[in-house]
Every structure is written in C-alpha cells, then in structure tokens.
C-alpha cells in the first residue's frame, strides 16, 4: 500500500466527521460538465511487488481521463486519501465534490493482467457501468484507453479524433521500462535523500531500456527538481538544475503532448527568472491537462513574481478544486488570501491546518507573512519560532530574523543572521535568507549584496515582490537587480 499523505488523511477524517475543518471552495471550472475521482485500484494478486502496478495504473487512469474535455478529474493526492477506506461511494463523492467514482482492482498472473472496474454514481451509490479486462500485460495501455473511452461514453462526453488518438498513445512499448517508471514514481521515495536517489536510479534504468520514453525523462526531471528545491543536494544548485533541465527538455522533445514535461520546464524557467517562457510552458501544460496540479502551484508563484495577487488567489482556488483534500493546496490558498488582504480567512485557514499532522513546514512562514503584512510583528515572531523544531531546514529562518529585527529585537535578529550566514558559507545556498535579515535590520547595502548573490544561487524568492519590501524596491539598486531577472 502506498500512503499518499497522512496529513490529507487526517484532513479528510476531520471533514467527514462534520467539523468542516476547511470551508468548501467553488466546485469546479465552469467548462466542466462532469466530475470524477479515481480511487486507488486494489492489488488483488496479494503480491506486494504488484502494488506499484496497481498504484501506477491508478495514476495513469487519472492522467488519461484528464485528457477528456469537460471532465473534472480529482488529483491523486485527494483520491488516495481513501485507499482501503470503509466509506461508501456517496461519502467519498461528497468529500471530493464529484458526481462519479471509478473503483476496482488489478490482478497480475505471470504475463497476464486482469483489471476489474466499475463507475459508481456518487449521488445514490448505484453502479453506472462495470467491466472486466483480461489481457496480456503488454496491452496495459490499451486497457487504460478502453476504460477512459467507456467512462466518457457513460458520462455522455464526446471524444474528438485528437482526444481518441491521445488516449490510445502508448508512452512506451517496453513493459519492463514501464514497471521501472512506476517504481520510480512512488511518492514515498520523495521523503528522504536516499529515496530520491533510488527514484533517480529507477528512472535511469527505465531510460536505459527505452531511450525514447518521455515519461521516464519527465520523472527524472521531477526528482532532480525536488532535490534542487530541498537545498539538501550534495551537488551545487546549478549542477542539479542542469540535470533537471536536460531531462525535462528531452521529455518534451520526445513528446510535446506531455503535460508533466511542460509543467517541469515551466518551473525550471521560473527558477531561472525567465518568467515569459515559464508562463508559456505552464499554460501549455494546463491546456494539455487541466488536472495537472503541479502546474497550478507554479502559476501561483509566478503570479506573485508578476505582482498579481488576485491571479494567485484565482489559481489557488483552482488548485483546491482539483485537489480538495490536499493540505498543500489549502496552505497556498491561505497565503493567497493573506496577500489579497483577506487576513482573517487566511490566518484562520492556517490555524486549522496547523492541527493536521505531519504539519507542513510552510505554515509558520506563511502565517508570519500574513501577520507581517498586517504590521503585527510580535505575532509574526511567535509564528516563526516553531521553526526551532526544524533547525536543519534553513528555508524560512531568514523570515524569523527579519521579523525579529522589525519587532525591535535586534540582538536576537543578529543571532539569526550569524546562523543563516554560516549556513550559506557552508553550502553556498540560501542567500535570500541572509538578505532579508539585513533588510529587516535596515542595512540596505548588505541586503542588496546578498540579493544579488541570491540571484546567482537561485534562492531569490517571489516574496521580494511583497509590499513588505517596498523600501528596497524603491531603491535605484533594485532596478539593476530587476534587470537580471527576465521580466
């Protein structure tokens, strides 16, 4: 069994218990005429080694169904909350705000595979359609296409010729490479450096078996990106970036219809401050797959870079709509509410999310940003002191120094400055954390020196565009800094 987010599971339990932990957002884009959640397919064979196949087929079905126009498909993070759940389809459909549930099981025997699926009406729990596919393993992609086509027909959704072609396109002809891809895509590997290295190894082996497998290159690029953003990679940020970029560009060169590939290229472009190209790639990803939730996370960040907080709020609401039980989606919505001046709602949402375990590390820094925008520096400091629980994570330590300085606690801010500077000297990463402490202390010369270093080490954050730093952005030196960013 692959666990997709204990935090999301707790969140779902609280919602279903009637506490309404988080308020419901608008249910779906106006263009959608039907909605569906694909629940994790059960591994009927009983062999733990086949769990990756069952999970992989589930995720692939989510991706295939997302290609169908006017169908809203819930992201896997929320759907996997109900893995092996005892709840009935109506309760699950209500929690995920969908009208239909697709569920079933997978059994693998030698080179044959049996997939049993049924489409359930979320309103009354009745079966709308059911089928059993008994095929050879090599026909797994045809099974996915047949299921998607049957679902579209049952939901009265028309499929154009291009959509049918997209549904029937096999990502690889090498089943062994596909199996390695599924193993590398296991999200539990993202939780540790050793797991990420194992994921890289799986993707590389898949590519060795099929050098034209675009999905494997996209998975490799995603894994390198996680290493890059964690700031814990053994190599420099530029070296890891180059590896991620090489794999992502190879993925879209092999398959221009791969939404995941374009989403990854878009994030890479944004990390290099190439905002125009980033937006182009992200919109391409969204057009190919409106359910690609990673696209929305990057679009939210891009909106802050472009000083469009209203756009960030709109994108955050869309992200929650696609992934309604994702704490990550809700925390982004909370930040967007705060940056749009809706402080009470944003802070209340963050407070409720704070009850979910394991807690997202972004919650303290987002709460601090909200309090800071209100000018409540003591509350910002109080929110950030929870970072003491995670002294090895230096992302956000700079905010603590900034808030301490702005609240008049200069000596405490200087202690944080010593801490984050020592970390940068050892890793040559995270210059932005140092810069904002100097900004809080009122030392603009050092602040701009470190801001320029943050451009070089790829740590400059979109938060520099917040009103908190209006004094820096009014300085002529910010014009020169901005010229280094490709607006």
Domain boundaries, the chain: 1-30+308-355, 32-169, 173-256, 361-487
For 359, residues 6+ apart whose C-beta sits below 8 A from its C-beta are 7, 353
- Residue 103 dihedral angles phi and psi, to the nearest 5°: -140, 165
Tokens matching residue 157: 């959704």
Kindly list the distances between the CA atom of residue 381 and the CA atoms of 359, 392, 406, in Å, as whole numbers in the listed order.
18, 19, 10
CB 259 within 8 A of CB 215: no
Position 3 scores a pLDDT of 36
Q: Over its length of 487 residues, how does the chain's per-residue pLDDT go in tens digits?
A: 333 344 445 555 444 443 444 554 444 454 568 999 999 999 988 777 788 888 888 988 998 898 888 899 999 889 988 888 888 889 999 999 999 999 999 998 888 999 999 999 999 999 999 999 999 988 999 999 999 999 999 999 888 777 788 788 889 999 999 999 998 988 888 878 889 999 999 999 999 999 999 999 999 999 999 888 775 555 678 889 999 999 999 999 999 999 999 999 999 999 999 999 999 999 999 988 888 888 999 999 999 999 999 999 999 999 999 999 999 999 999 999 999 999 999 999 999 998 887 778 889 999 999 999 999 999 999 998 865 555 555 567 899 999 999 999 999 999 999 999 998 998 888 899 999 999 999 999 999 999 999 999 889 999 999 999 999 999 999 999 999 988 7
Helix (H, G, I), strand (E, B) or coil at 389: helix
The pairing of beta strand 112-121 with beta strand 127-136: antiparallel
- Residues 63 and 293: their CA atoms lie apart, in Å, by 11
Contact assessment for residue 145 and residue 171, using Cβ atoms and an 8 Å cutoff: no
Residue 127, H or E segment: strand 127-136
Q: CA of 1: how far to CAs of 4, 8, 74, 196, 201, in Å?
A: 9, 16, 20, 19, 21
**End-to-end Cα spacing for the chain:** 45
| CATH number corresponding to 361-487 | 1.25.40
Cα-Cα-Cα-Cα dihedral sign, residues 225, 226, 230, 231: negative
- Overall size of the chain counted in residues: 487
CATH class of this structure's domain 32-169: alpha beta
Rg of the Cα trace of the chain?
A: 23
Contact 3, 12 (CB under 8 A): no
Compute the CA torsion angle 264, 268, 270, 275 (nearest 10 deg).
Answer: -80
Per-residue b/e over 248-259, b at no fewer than 16 CB within 10 Å?
Answer: bbbbbebbebbb
What pLDDT was estimated at residue 19? 40
pLDDT at 233 (0 to 100): 54
SS3 assignment, position 286:
helix
Domain 173-256 homologous superfamily, CATH: Tetratricopeptide repeat domain (1.25.40.10)
């Amino acid at each position: 069994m692959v666990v997709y987010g204990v935090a999301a599971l707790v969140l779902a339990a609280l919602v279903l218990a009637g506490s309404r932990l988080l308020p419901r957002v608008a249910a779906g884009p106006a263009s959608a005429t039907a909605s569906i959640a694909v629940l994790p397919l059960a591994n009927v064979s009983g062999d733990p080694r086949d769990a990756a196949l069952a999970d992989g087929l589930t995720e692939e079905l989510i991706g295939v169904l997302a290609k169908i126009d006017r169908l809203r498909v819930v992201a896997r993070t929320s759907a996997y909350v109900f893995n092996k759940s005892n709840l009935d389809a109506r309760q699950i459909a209500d929690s995920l705000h969908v009208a239909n549930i697709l569920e079933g099981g997978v059994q693998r025997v030698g080179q044959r595979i049996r997939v049993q699926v049924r489409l359930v009406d979320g309103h009354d729990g009745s079966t709308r359609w059911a089928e059993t596919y008994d095929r050879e393993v090599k026909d797994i992609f045809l099974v996915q296409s047949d299921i998607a086509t049957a679902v579209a027909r049952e939901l009265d959704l028309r499929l154009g010729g291009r959509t049918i072609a997209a549904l029937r396109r096999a990502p690889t002809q090498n089943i062994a490479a596909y199996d390695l891809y599924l193993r590398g895509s296991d999200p539990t590997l993202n939780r540790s450096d050793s797991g990420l290295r194992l994921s890289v190894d799986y993707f590389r082996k898949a590519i060795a078996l099929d050098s034209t497998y675009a999905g494997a290159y996209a998975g490799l690029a995603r894994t390198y990106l996680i290493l890059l953003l964690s700031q814990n990679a053994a190599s420099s940020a530029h070296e890891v970036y180059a590896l991620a970029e090489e794999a992502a560009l190879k993925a879209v060169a092999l398959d221009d219809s791969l939404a995941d590939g374009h989403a990854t290229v878009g994030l890479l472009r944004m990390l290099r401050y190439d905002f125009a190209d980033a937006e182009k790639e992200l919109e391409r990803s969204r057009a190919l797959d409106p359910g690609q939730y990673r696209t929305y996370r990057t679009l939210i960040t891009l909106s802050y870079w472009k000083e469009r907080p209203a756009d960030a709020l709109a994108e955050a609401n869309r992200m929650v709509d696609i992934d309604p039980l994702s704490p990550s989606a809700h925390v982004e919505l909370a930040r967007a509410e705060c940056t749009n001046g809706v402080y009470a709602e944003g802070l209340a949402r963050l407070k409720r999310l704070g009850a979910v375990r394991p807690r997202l590390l972004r919650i303290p820094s987002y709460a601090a940003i909200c309090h800071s925008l209100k000018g409540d520096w003591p509350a910002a400091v109080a929110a950030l002191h929870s970072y003491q629980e995670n002294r090895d994570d230096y992302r956000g330590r700079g905010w603590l120094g900034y808030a301490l300085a702005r609240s008049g606690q200069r000596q405490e801010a200087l202690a944080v400055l010593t801490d984050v500077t020592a970390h940068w000297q050892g890793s040559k990463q995270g210059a932005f954390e140092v810069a904002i402490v100097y900004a809080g202390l009122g030392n603009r010369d050092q602040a701009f020196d470190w801001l320029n270093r943050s451009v070089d080490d790829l740590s400059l954050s979109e938060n520099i565009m917040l009103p908190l730093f209006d004094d820096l952005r009014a300085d002529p030196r910010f014009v020169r800094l901005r010229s280094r960013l490709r607006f």
